[in-house]
Structure 1
Amino acid sequence: MKYHVRSVAGRARRTNHDFAGALCDGENGVFVITDGTSRVGSGQLAESFVKGVLDVWSKHFDHGLHITECEAVEQVLLSILADLHPVLFASHTGATCYVVGVAAHGKLTLAYEGDCSCGVVTPAGAIEWITSPHCKANWRRDRSHSELAQDPARHRVTRCLKASRAPNPDFVFHSLTLRERLVFATDGFWAELTELQQSYLLAAPDGSCIDVEDDITWIDVQL
């Protein structure tokens, strides 16, 4: 398993509010991507969330990751998020969208709140998204990412990590295949870029990025 992480700041903010990180141990890996909202302190919150989740999962890798069922991974993630929530908001303000993915024993477990997404990259370089963003434009949870990208209401997220509510992620489970390729991305990547631009950056991850409003961040994972 190998991965590539890249984040590009947009024009909308002085600082990049996107953060991403990953840990791999043989055929197992954990991937975290966040997108801090415009609220004060959200960038620092997003960064600390990534670090906090990875710090906990590094201990699982140190002791050997023996969790084989997605439901068991779900319970571990729920426990991590519940424990991390009061720690984060003891010293941070703001709010952030996130997706956490755990790939282990041929299975992928995703936990997410907001509009960060995960998808499977096809051999042709297209992305089949497997998470459904939490935003006003998608209140029925029935619209594709390409449709949402054209709707201004997508900017109003309906779920995220914040101080006033305990973590309440949706979970998605996906069976992994040999040589499968995954992409974890913020909405700057899946909505601000065209599908052609997305494919280009997956093919040339260090290539030049078009000047865009929103921060663009993605993790490209190849099994």
Structure 2
Amino acid sequence: MRYLSRSITGQASRANNDYAGATCEGDRGFFVVADGTSRRGSGQLAECFVSGMLAADSTQLEQGGYPAEPGAIERLLGSILSDFHASLPADQTGAICYLIGLVAHGRLTVAYEGDCSCGIVTLLGAIEWITPPHCKANWRRDRSHCELAQDPARNSITRCLKINRVPNPDFVWCELEAVERLVFVTDGFWADLTQVQQSSLLAAPDSDFSVGDDDVTWIDVQLGRRD
């Protein structure tokens, strides 16, 4: 398994409030993306979140790694999120959307709140998104990312992490036998870029590229052939 990550500051941003981090070892990987809102303190919270999750992953590996049973993994990730939230100072401001992706025991488990997304990249470079965003435009949880990208109501997030809201992630998981590539992104990637632009950046991640107003961040993970 190997990965690469890139973040591009949006034209409307004074500072990039997107953060991402990852660790890989053998066939295990831990991936985090966080997108700070425009509220004061959100960039600091996003940065703190990513570093906190990576530290928790390191601690878990020191304690023997991750369980194999899906329910146990969900409980563990929920506990990690709760512990992080409890450690925040009382005066912490801001709000973030986040997504955690854990690859272990041949399975992907995703925990997320907000509009950061995870997708499976096909051999043709297209992305099949597997995490329905938490936003007013998707209150029925039945709209595709392509549809949501055209609806301004997608910017009204219905779930996020902040000091006065206990983490309440949704979980998505899938078996990885036939999956070769994953991508973890902020909404600047899936909503503000066209599908052609998304595929182009995955094909040439270091290319010169001018994005729109929002920050664009992604982690591209190559799992290798499994079938």
Common fold by TM > 0.5:
yes
Q: Structure 1 length normalisation: TM-score?
A: 0.97
The answer (yes or no) to whether the contact 2:32–2:100 under 8 Å persists in 1 is yes
The answer (yes or no) to whether the contact 1:25–1:61 under 8 Å persists in 2 is no
Q: Within 1, Cα distance between the matches of 2:63 and 2:199?
A: 37
Q: Which amino acid aligns with 1:69?
A: E
Task: Please list, as runs of the form range in 1=range in 2, the aligned pairs for 1:101-120 lying within 5 A after superposition.
Answer: 101-120=101-120
* Unaligned ranges ≥5, structure 2: none
Pairs aligned (count): 223
SS of residue in 2 equivalent to 1:213: coil
Shift of 1:179: 5.6
In structure 2, what is the equivalent of residue 203 of structure 1?
203
Aligned-residue sequence identity (percent) comes to: 63
SS of residue in 1 equivalent to 2:39: coil
In structure 1, what is the equivalent of residue 138 of structure 2?
138
In structure 2, what is the equivalent of residue 169 of structure 1?
169
The answer (yes or no) to whether the contact 1:113–1:161 under 8 Å persists in 2 is yes
Deviation by residue 1:113-144 (Cα, 9 ceiling, x = unmatched): 00000000000000000000000110111000
In structure 1, what is the equivalent of residue 2 of structure 2?
2
The answer (yes or no) to whether the contact 1:49–1:88 under 8 Å persists in 2 is no
The answer (yes or no) to whether the contact 1:8–1:217 under 8 Å persists in 2 is yes
The answer (yes or no) to whether the contact 1:48–1:88 under 8 Å persists in 2 is no
Deviation by residue 1:68-127 (Cα, 9 ceiling, x = unmatched): 122111011010011100212445310000000110010011000000000000000000
Q: Structure 2 length normalisation: TM-score?
A: 0.95
* Unaligned ranges ≥5, structure 1: none
Deviation by residue 1:148-201 (Cα, 9 ceiling, x = unmatched): 000011011000001111000000011112561000000000011000000001
SS of residue in 1 equivalent to 2:22: strand
In structure 2, what is the equivalent of residue 127 of structure 1?
127
Q: Within 2, Cα distance between the matches of 1:201 and 1:147?
A: 21
Q: Within 1, Cα distance between the matches of 2:3 and 2:91?
A: 31
Q: Within 2, Cα distance between the matches of 1:24 and 1:60?
A: 14
In structure 1, what is the equivalent of residue 11 of structure 2?
11
Go from structure 1 to structure 2 and tell me whether the alpha carbon gap of 1:89 and 1:144 turns closer, same or farther (over 3 Å shift).
farther
Matched, 1:51 2:37: no
